[in-house]
Amino acid sequence: MQHSRNSMARRKTESTTQILSTLKAASSAMSHQMIQEELDIEVDRATIYRVLNRFCEDGMVHRVIGENGKQYFALCEGCEKENHSHNHFHFRCKNCGKVECLSREIEIKLPAGYVAQNFNGLISGVCAQCA
């Protein structure tokens, strides 16, 4: 079978399915560590990152950068299809560590000539459960 140009088909493995279902089950964005702890099987840190990066490339998952500089991953909910914009904010609770989506979409106008490739909006503080 011929693949277009950079012929790379994704394979289904124990790791990928488990990580995917972990993300599906999660109510919030997860760090690699949270994912690792949640898995039924042992998966290497490097592998988890590679799987998550692949998911991001494929547009199944989006990456959020916390105010702590760390990466969090969450399934794309409403932007699976053509409109793959992640222009919404996230909220990270500094107490319980939960990272939630804030539904409101934001439109930011850039100065002329600027090209946007990535959007990362995050508010951190204390969530209602922890307040």
Enumerate the H helices of 13-98 as residue ranges.
14-25, 32-38, 45-57
Out of 51, 91, 98, 99, the residue judged to bind a copy of itself by CB under 8 A: 91
- Return the range that interacts with a copy of itself (CB under 8 A); candidates 5-13, 46-54, 78-86, 115-123: 115-123
- Cα–Cα distances in Å, from 18 out to 26, 58, 89, 91, 122? 12, 17, 27, 25, 27
Site for DNA in 71-130 (CB under 7 A): 71
Q: Is 14 in the site for a copy of itself (CB under 8 A)?
A: no
| Closer CB to DNA, 34 or 76, in the complex | 34
Beta-ladder partners of 93: 125
CA 20 to each of CA 3, 5, 74, 76: distance values in angstroms, whole numbers, following the listed order: 24, 27, 10, 11
| Closer Cβ to a copy of itself, 4 or 129, answer by number | 129
Angle at 93 between CA 108 and CA 56, to 5 degrees: 55
Q: What is the nearest approach in angstroms of DNA to the Cβ of residue 100?
A: 18
Q: Does 79 bind a copy of itself (CB under 8 A)?
A: no
Pairing of strands 71-75, 99-105: unpaired
Least Cβ distance, residue 104 to DNA (angstroms):
25
Kindly state whether residue 21 participates in binding DNA, applying the rule CB under 7 A: no
The site for DNA (CB under 7 A) is made up of 1, 7-16, 31-33, 42-47, 49-51, 53-54, 69-71
